[in-house]
Amino acid sequence: ADFTNMTYCVDGNQQEYNSLRVQLTVDSMPHLHQLERHFFTNSACGVCGTTMLDDLSERNIPTIPAGPVVDPSLITSLPDKLRQSQALFESTGGLHAAALFDLDGNLLALREDVGRHNALDKLIGWGLLNDQLPFHNKVLMVSGRASYELLQKSFVAGVPVFCAVSAPSSLAVNVAERFGMTLIGFLRGNRFNVYTGIERIKSMEPALAN
């Protein structure tokens, strides 16, 4: 394991269920001096993303297996299953979702949050707490676009096939290509675009994948 203890923060005025204190193992302690940056950054910082890719390459993260091979009909069935299971979205209309499916298209877990990154964090947390990591032989879908941060987290979680309702960023495509993931975007109706890892998608008609 990468950590020895994880507890809620309950000191002083800290929120009891909104913050965690994590004690890392000695081998998992990051080399903070290697992460120093001396320039202004923001959430869309491409330089930061490039630096993070190099860092991921140097870490001892298992590679994504060659499989699985997924039928296009399974892929196109996911958006409706995702929407039908978004109970909070139905009530508010303002939440993102991240969902995990098996190779038969069965929904294994779904998490929602105002932030799309938080939704994925919750889903990966579910996997950790239920001994489901890595997510090999699974398909992950998010309700928004595919950013490089989401692809990085999914790679660490062992996701082979990542699907998004909307577009991927160019750096997200780089992440997927570099680490052997299948990246699907614009998954709507009976159409989707395959940006990387098309070998995991069974032979299909040209109209189904660009």
Active-site entry in 9, 45, 48, 163: 45
pLDDT digits (tens, 9 = 90+) for 163-197: 999 999 999 999 999 999 999 999 999 999 999 99
53 to 48, 50, 175, 210: CA distances (angstroms): 9, 5, 7, 26
Cα 108 off chain centre by: 15
Query: 209 and 198 in contact (C-beta within 8 Å)?
Result: yes
Task: List the chain domain ranges.
Answer: 3-58, 72-200
Instruction: Supply the pTM of this predicted model.
Output: 0.77
Give 58-111 pLDDT, tens digit per residue.
Answer: 777 888 999 999 999 999 999 999 988 877 666 666 689 999 999 999 999 999
- For this structure, is 45 an active site residue? yes
Q: What's the pLDDT at 123?
A: 97
Instruction: Describe the crossing of helices 170-178 and 148-156 by its angle, rounded to 10 degrees.
Output: 20
The CATH architecture of the domain made up of 72-200 is 3-Layer(aba) Sandwich (3.40)
